Structure 1
Amino acid sequence: MDRGNGVRRGRRKSRALRSIRRARHGSAATLILCAVLSFPILSRPVAAQNEGVAISFDAASHRLDSVSPALSAASHAEAAARETQAAVATLRRPLVTASAQYLAYQKTLSVDLTGSKQSAESGTQDFLAGLPATVPPAFQQIAGDIVGRISQALPGLFAAIPDSLSYRYRDQLFRPTVQGVLPLYSGGAIPAIQRGARAGADMAVARAGQARELSRINLVRVYFGQLAAAELARSARETLDALDQLLSDARKLEAEGVTPRARTLEAQVARDSAARVWERAVIAQDGARDELARLLEMDAVHPSTGLFVVSRPLPPAATFLGGEADLPQSRQAEATRQVADAGVDLARARYRPQAFAFGEYNLNRNAALPTEPDWIAGVGVRYTLLSNVDRGHALNAARENAAAAADAARETRKAATSATLRAWDLVEGARRSFLLLDSSLAAAQENWRVQRVAFREGEGTLTTVLAAEAVLANARTQRAATAYEYDLALAGLLAAAGQLDRFPDYLARADIRLPLGDRP
């Protein structure tokens, strides 16, 4: 009885294997049509990949330089800082201004005549009293009579004169003048302001350089990230295709009574899980494609430069060191220190006097006020005796700011060195991992093929096939992810070493490139 059951199971197994082989060697068009009808979403990545404009990494870099708002803003800020430096470069020149005024004025003059009137009256009387003595004797009688009459009339004459005299005058005039002021000594304020402006321009240049580096690193992230997302989507699709075929084989074997229902359900669960993974990968790929298009301000675009790896080891990490002072962040920190030092000199200038020359010329002398000169010139000195701002505390604050800026500059250089060493480790680690993944991928592909053959022949189990497919999918995913990690880490290393302009050189001499089409 057991022998008969075994013979029947063997016949069913043989018929199932023959049906699987017939299906595998059937019309290719029929298989594709069935796949499209069963899973219409599978056609989506192929259509999406062919949409848009193909653009190389170099072309994308040039495009980003012309359309990036961040780079444009940094360029405008740099130009503004340079204009500010040029504006304060002429602080030692004289300041000449012209002004014009139209004036309407009234002048009142009051003169007190009391003392003058009394002096005149007494002087007149003294004078008249001396007249008879000086007149000849024959005329003294006549002179005395005349003097007497005049003396009697004097009080009435002087009484008619007022005690004060008031005069009021109104007029209108046009008053054009030219004034000039020339700084002779500013106590060090002018040189401090000019040094601060130069440092501000250096700071703006450093910020613009840092913005350019950040934009390029972001381009590497988005550009090659889109390629990595596409590679992961292709890997997920291949896994889904393989599990679709495996599920189809399991159903045929179940129909022939070779495998139980539980194995088919296990294959169904694995296939559905792969479908969910693939759908998420497609969404991630679409998001990466949209991000690249937005970054480059293009409607639709896809990269034409693939993920790459340079198999040769990097030069020693020490070769990437030594340029920390030329990094944009280091130059910005150094410029900040120079601004702080200029602030110290400016605070010291508040303790010193200021000397200046000045002059003014009236262009309309005929209409000048009575108290106004035709022109005036001179020199002056100004010194602040008491200020409403404590100059001592202000100077101490400026010194502390300078010390903080100097420490920050040193810390920036140290951080740049540490970042370079860490980035070198990441690049080298990604390179070695990628090279090891080549052999792992080949082994995973062979293991998956052997397990599939064993399952179709009824010698293997579905569990081993699923495990082999999981290992293969992980190897494909790790290969794409490691290549992307290498490219991004390389950009970070070159940026940390101040050599980001050499990224295209590494790209040109790369000897390993992941194809843009189907996965190898």
Structure 2
Amino acid sequence: MNLNQRILFFVLSVASIVPVAAQENLSFDQALNLLHDGNQSLKIADKGIEIAKSERGKLNAFWYPSLQSTGAFVHLSEKIEVKQPLSEFTDPAKDFVHSIIPDDKIISGILDQIGANTLVFPLAPRNLTTVDLTAEWVLFSGGKRFHATKIGNTMVDLARESRAQVDATQRTLLAESYYGLRLAREIVAVREEAYRGLEKHYENAVKLEATGMIDKAARLFAQVNRDEAKRELEAARKEEAVVQNALKTLLNREGESMDIAPSSPLFINDSIPPKMEFILAMNTSNYLVNQLNLQEHMSRQQLKIDRSGYMPNIALFGKQTLYSHGIQSNLVPRTMIGVGFTWNLFDGLEREKRIRQSKLTSQTLALGQAKAKDDLAVGVDKLYSQMQKAQDNVRALNTTIELSEELVRMRKKAFAEGMATSTEVVDAETMLAKVKVLRLAAYYEYDVALMNLLALCGTPEQFSSYEQQAITKS
């Protein structure tokens, strides 16, 4: 084994033990599962649903009776007592005696002495203590509770719709990052292929210069373009690292050293449904439209609650004294039960103003919903056009790539035979790399536009079906 063979064997041995950067292959569906497990925005949206359910529970509490315990210690400035002058009883007696014995003085004198006094009956001492248990159950409130229950249920639906919108937004961000990383890795592969081609071309130029078939300028031109291809390769690798970090952050894995390798390819569908189908889906399933519809429903229920303010409230109430000191039960009974009502006859036109405000809110939400549908229709049209443009670009670039590959092969063969210049070979290699990158960009633009369109229509979960159709047909 000569020296060169030993050096080659050593290099191969070292290369075999150098660790390769660890990577984890993830499909788009697997990345979506990771997104749902650790995404902070989705966790916040889930808390919003819990808050809405708690608020609904508060509104439903009006259906149940209220039970309260009250107690007090009272010190009075004077005793509570009844004073009765005895003259009210002795004066009629004196008149009766005089009617029988006109000249009587003895009995009348006794009655005068008795009538000069006052009879005192104590009712309660100055210090009083009482502990009571009171209950109230509203039997009729003009329909307020029914409409409040509907508002509570709608609040939960609104929170769920908001959570679905957050999920669609995160799916869109995932598609941009996931397929952005796939695009970056594909571009790195294209740049590597172009660099290897120009490196090989430079080696051939050095050999041809040595034989005198080309001059130094042609060799330098090949070297400059090789170095430029290397610079573009390094730039592509840096861009890949940036998108890699963005995807890790989105999946809440920024602290892990293992890189993510997207296994789901960039795809494009040969045909897409008519635009009208997406518009119809948007009108019925868009998150913003649904939220405005739910808010309008809540405003209608609030209007009914405001109108029920003209009705009386009827309630069943009861009271039980648990402990009492100083108050006799024959004065204040220990147990009471009854039915009462409250009816607000005039409140300074406050009810009328609330009703008008609820009407205006409902009308505003209806107008907002109509405007939102018009604006979203423009968005659907824009995204649909982007998808069609990407399809057209891919069809055109497929043919261009085939021609460019054939041109590179012919130019390299002609250059090796001295029939073509270095500029022609470099131009062919550069054009081939350019059209390949353009085709990858068209694939990426289609995938991102598709996810945005489906999210706008409220059906982002259909993205996987479009992906499977494209892969299956491919």
Q: Give the TM-score of the pair, scaled to structure 2.
A: 0.81
* 1:471 to 2:426 alignment: no
Contact 2:125 2:326 in 1 (8 A): no
Answering whether residue 143 of structure 2 is matched by residue 182 of structure 1, we say no
Query: Which residue identity is paired with 2:280?
Result: G
Cα offset for 1:441?
A: 0.7
How much does 1:334 deviate? Answer: 0.9
- In the superposition, relative to structure 1, how do residues 392 and 268 fare at CA in structure 2: closer, same or farther (>3 Å)? farther
**CA distance 1:391–1:257, change in 2 (3 Å):** farther
Aligned residue for 1:84? 55
1:11 corresponds in structure 2 to none
Query: Which amino acid in structure 2 is aligned with residue 222 of structure 1?
Result: S
Q: Is the 8 A contact 1:253 1:259 kept in 2?
A: yes
Partner amino acid, structure 2, of 1:205: R
User: For the aligned residues, what is the CA RMSD?
Assistant: 4.0
Higher gyration radius (CA): 1
In structure 2, how many angstroms separate the alpha carbons of the residues matched to 1:99 and 1:111?
A: 28
Bigger mean CA deviation after superposition, 502-511 or 396-405: 502-511
Deviation per residue, 1:429-488 (Å, 9 max, x gap): 222321221211111122222223333433323332232222111111012111222222
Q: What amino acid is the match of 1:369?
A: I
Displacement of 1:513 in angstroms is 9.2
| Alignment-derived partner of residue 108 in structure 1 | 78
* 8 Å CA contact retained: 1:108, 1:168: no
Q: Secondary structure at the match of 1:314?
A: coil
Q: Secondary structure at the match of 2:340?
A: strand
In the alignment, is the contact (CA less than 8 A) between 1:110 and 1:164 conserved in 2? no
Shift of residue 383 of structure 1?
0.3
- Distance apart, 1:213 and its partner CA: 1.9
Unmatched 5+ stretches in structure 2: none
Letter in 2 for 1:195: K
Secondary structure of 1:177's match? strand
Match of 1:455 in 2: 415
1:238-253 map, 5 Å: 238-253=193-208
* Counterpart among 65, 78, 82 of residue 95 in structure 1: 65
C-alpha contact (below 8 Å) 1:309/1:486 kept by paired residues: yes
1:349-388 correspondence runs (5 A)? 349-350=308-309, 352-364=310-322, 367=325, 369=327, 372-374=332-334, 375-383=336-344, 385-387=346-348
Task: Using structure 1 for the length normalisation, give the TM-score.
Answer: 0.74
Percent of pairs identical after alignment? Answer: 20
Pair 1:110–1:253, CA change in 2 (3 A): closer
Which residue pairs with 2:443 in the alignment?
A: 483
The Cα offsets for residues 334-370 of structure 1, whole Å up to 9 and x where unpaired, read as 11211222233333344x1432223222244764735
Where in structure 2 are the equivalents of 1:29-108 lying within 5 Å? 47-48=20-21, 51-89=22-60, 91=62, 93-101=63-71, 103-106=73-76, 108=78
Pairwise CA distance, 1:166: 9.8
Listed as ranges, the gaps of 5+ residues in structure 1 are 1-25, 35-39, 136-143, 515-520
Change (3 A) 1:464 1:244: same
User: Counterpart of 1:21?
Assistant: none
Change (3 A) 1:185 1:272: same
- Displacement after TM superposition at 1:174 (Å): 4.3
* 1:237–1:278 CA contact under 8 A, matched in 2: yes
Pair 1:325-2:284 in alignment = yes
One-letter identity of the residue aligned with 2:293: E
